[in-house]
Chain A
Amino acid sequence: MTKYRFSKDAESLQSLATEGGLLADGVADSRTTSAFVRTHAQELAADTEKLASVVASTEPEPGLVGKTKRLAALATRAAAQLRLLAKHPSDAAMATDIRAALNHTADAAEQLEKTL
């Protein structure tokens, strides 16, 4: 894992988590459909799981070991939130919590990238 790669992966996680937050936002405000949320949350979860697995399996440059572990953990957590959203695509209360968790993950990924 190079600094460049880390930065790109952190950006990807930020993007996926923010989009997941936006999707959850629609559920929380009843502005979407269950079929769309289920399908799109699954797509985002699959990509986030792939990202988590790639980040976790790379050999980081010295100085990036801790950050890489943290990024992988954040991606794993985001993927779990997205799977939860896919499983409960019309639960507004749960979507509110998921939105908060995903937005928090997006912020954390952005902060991690800024520490480079």
Chain B
Amino acid sequence: MTKVFQIALGILAAIGGFVDIGDIVFNATAGATFGYQLIWAVVVGALGIMVYSEMCGRVATVAKRPVFDVVRERLGYKVGVTTLCASQFVNAMTCAAEVGGLAIVLRYLFGLPYRPLIVLAVLILLLSVWALPFEWIERIFGFGGLLLIVFAVAALKLDPNWGALGHGFVPHIDTPSPVIWAYFVIGLLGATFMPYEVYFYSSGGVEDGWVPPHDLKLNKLTAIVGYGLGAVLSISIMVVAAELFVPKGIEPGFLGTVALAAQTPVGEAGLLLAILGMFFAISGAAIDTALAGAYNMAQFFGWEWGKYRKPSGAPRFTLTWIGFFLLAFLVVITGVDPIFVTELSVIFSVVALPLTYVPILLVAGDSSYMGEHANGRLASTLGWFYLVVIAIVSVAAVPLLVLTNMGEG
């Protein structure tokens, strides 16, 4: 049972990359547009983020150095500041989108007006992070997000075409719109590598007090199981959308459309589980981004940091995560569409992506830091392979976003 609780960090970090507000709608749109064709992209992305999270968790455990500590040292101050600015912009925009998403989910639950619910959403997030110890944040929002497993149940009830589903694990193009196909592939891969996942994950390892050698196994297990579950949720949403929306010609544009996809085969219980799952997943992603923003600042500038400290013991860290939620509030109260904001944050994440992952790979492979725990041949090969994937995502994301009018064609 203790092991089950210990992997909560991986689940919470994975939620940000697979089932946050933007991903929930994006996965459903991918399924509604291409059926099962893009499942492989989720699998490729999941393996990549497992590789890098394991690496940065290992660095945090052995060298006690979370990601931004490493970024500053390996890239120097100027490039480090560029990475910090791009990362913080992505964190802030994504946090804003999640706060807006949380207010939308609260609307689905209570039917109240949107703007007062933004206030309620921010209060829920502020109180949760202020009052709960880190491990309970991981458990409540990580395991709560797993309520989205209702989409796997819905997928099974819809009796999918197993042959076509299996074929979806093999990369192939079967569409008259290859550019839009490419946009969705890059979008799915880019989402799984959102930098705040590794900032949160590696800092979380320090928060959880991981020590070698025992916790290196836990780190591996946490990365594999956490991101594996994230991928299962992501694929389940895609399958439900493929089964339900493709024949009906529905283009999902709202969180509600995705919730409706759980209700149709499972009934009212399915709807409620889907909405509650979204509540925990989106709240978890909001907390991921706000804390990641505070971790980055504190690690870059050398402040005291950590949820394991009292707020008075890490005042600048505490003020930063509070500031992130307040900034998010100011952004979404303007009425901007949260899903549009997440799509926009992709543009800025392309700057942060390579600058975040290169230092992790370099330090994880450096035996002067890591000793006997430095990358072996397999981790090194996978790390370099995925660095190429990340570079392709970075180069292709913005042109495809423009060329396809954000996938609208």
- Find out whether the CB atom of A31 lies under 8 angstroms from the CB atom of B268: yes
- Find out whether the CB atom of B254 lies under 8 angstroms from the CB atom of A18: no
- Find out whether the CB atom of A43 lies under 8 angstroms from the CB atom of B254: yes
Q: In the complex, A68→B375 CA distance in Å?
A: 62
Q: In the complex, A18→B32 CA distance in Å?
A: 14
Note all chain B residues with C-beta closer than 8 A to A11.
249, 251
A116 sits at the interface (CB 8 A) = no
Task: Kindly identify, within residues 28 to 49 of chain A, every residue whose CB is under 8 Å from any CB belonging to chain B.
Answer: 30-36, 38-40, 43-44, 47
Note all chain A residues with C-beta closer than 8 A to B256.
36, 39-40, 43
A14 sits at the interface (CB 8 A) = yes
The contact string, 1 if C-beta is below 8 Å from chain A, for chain B 244-265, is 0000111101101101100110
Q: In the complex, A36→B257 CA distance in Å?
A: 11
**Size band of the interface chain B makes with A:** 20 to 34
Residue of B109, B249, B263, B267 contacting most chain A CB atoms (<10 Å): B249
Choose, from A19-27, A59-67, A75-83, the stretch at the interface: A19-27
Note all chain B residues with C-beta closer than 8 A to A34.
111
**Chain B residues touching A, majority SS:** helix
A97 sits at the interface (CB 8 A) = no
Knowing A15-B249, A18-B248 touch, does A32 contact B257 (C-beta < 8 A)?
no
- Find out whether the CB atom of A18 lies under 8 angstroms from the CB atom of B249: yes
Task: Kindly identify, within residues 286 to 321 of chain B, every residue whose CB is under 8 Å from any CB belonging to chain A.
Answer: none
B108 sits at the interface (CB 8 A) = yes
A12 sits at the interface (CB 8 A) = yes
Q: In the complex, A44→B260 CA distance in Å?
A: 13
In the complex, 19 of the A-B residue pairs with CB atoms within 8 angstroms, ordered by the A residue number, are: A11-B251, A12-B251, A14-B249, A15-B249, A15-B251, A18-B248, A19-B257, A25-B264, A31-B267, A33-B268, A36-B259, A36-B271, A36-B275, A39-B256, A40-B108, A40-B254, A40-B259, A43-B254, A44-B254
Contact surface of B with A, Cβ cutoff 8 Å: 107-111, 248-251, 253-254, 256-257, 259-260, 263-264, 267-268, 271-272, 275, 409
